[in-house]
Amino acid sequence: MAPAAAVFRRADNSLASTACVEVSGTPERALLSDAQLAHYAITALIDEARLTPKPALVDQRGSGAHRDLDLATMLRSAHALEATFAALARTSRRRGEPSALLRTELAQIGRQGEQDMMNATGGSNAHRGAIWIIGLLVAGASLALRGGESARLHASQICTLAARIACFPDRFAAPAPDSHGERARQRYQVGGARQEAQDGFRHVIDVGLPFLHAARTRGIDENAARVDTLLAIMASLDDTCLLHRAGLAGLHAGQHGAQRVLQAGGYSTSAGRAALAALEHDLLSLNASPGGAADLLAATLFLDMLAHHDASRSPDSWNI
């Protein structure tokens, strides 16, 4: 499918528009390096994995609905992907603009990253969806920052560039569905991760970032704000991970349960915590896990980190 401008239109949103990378000084200093972008990417994955509590997902309490994953495995997977994200950034910076060639090269790097992930986890799929989602955003950020032309970089600009890449076909993709998410997408006729990317990451720009920023404005602590942001994404996302594991029953349990938590006041309230416990009970009984929403939360955290980037900080001062 060729890229089309209509794919990327979205409503002007003041909260979303504040998600900018503030840069100062010389153009050279303003640019994020490939290593810095990769570091932010894996930090987003690690922050998402450690966030607790998450309904039926791996967190610091345990494995949720996942028998083959735990927090230590998720962290190994994230660290194993740092070289992949750096390569995605480097290749995008070199090519300079979205193209079919860039899409092909990024897909090849991503497939090698999947192998690195599998090697690190002993064969468990910890971050396959995140390689696609976060990888495209790393590529979009690298393209947007190339040359240091602008002093303010909008999250929407990164997502638009990432979407343009996603709209080119992967020439070497398997002819048949080769992932649980893709099979669920076709079976239930939902957009899935591919459509989310091609549409410009609407659940990040229009849901995740605005909800996170609004929660902070209300004075909600950061952990609760992030949990509520995950729930806001869950409430409207046709999550192919839930569909793969438990069909429409799992999707409806996830969406309606997340809505009930937010309507009760969110995780920072006692009623919200009770509703979250009920949501987790329902998902665990179905062996269902909202992995797609977790990937989009990580994407939200990645763009949020770029928005607060301090160009004067060195990599040695960052904590994972």
What are 30-56's pLDDT values in tens digits?
A: 468 999 999 999 999 999 999 999 999
pLDDT at position 178 is 61
- 15 pLDDT band (50/70/90 cuts)? very low
Rounded-to-10 torsion of CA 298, 304, 306, 311: -130
Specify the 3-state DSSP secondary structure of 303: helix
Q: What percent of the chain has pLDDT over 90?
A: 73
The full length of the chain comes to: 320
Is the omega angle on the peptide bond into residue 53 within 30 degrees of 0, that is, cis?
A: yes
Taking phi first (over 0 means left), then psi (-120 to 50 degrees means alpha), and beta for anything else, what does residue 44 get? Answer: alpha
Please give the Cα distance from 306 to 314 (Å, whole number): 14
- 153 pLDDT band (50/70/90 cuts)? low
Query: Does 309 have pLDDT greater than 90?
Result: no
Exposed, middle or buried, 12 (CB in 10 Å: 0-12/13-18/19+)?
A: exposed
- 166 pLDDT band (50/70/90 cuts)? very high
Tokens standing for residue 175: 């002819």
Query: Does 97 have pLDDT greater than 50?
Result: yes
pLDDT at position 152 is 47
pLDDT tens digit sequence for 226-243: 999 999 999 999 999 999
Please give the Cα distance from 198 to 142 (Å, whole number): 18
- 289 pLDDT band (50/70/90 cuts)? very high
The amino acid occupying position 72 is A
Report the DSSP beta bridge partners of residue 153. 21
CA atoms within 13 A on the CB side of 299: 38
Taking phi first (over 0 means left), then psi (-120 to 50 degrees means alpha), and beta for anything else, what does residue 25 get? Answer: left
Q: What's the whole-model pTM score?
A: 0.85
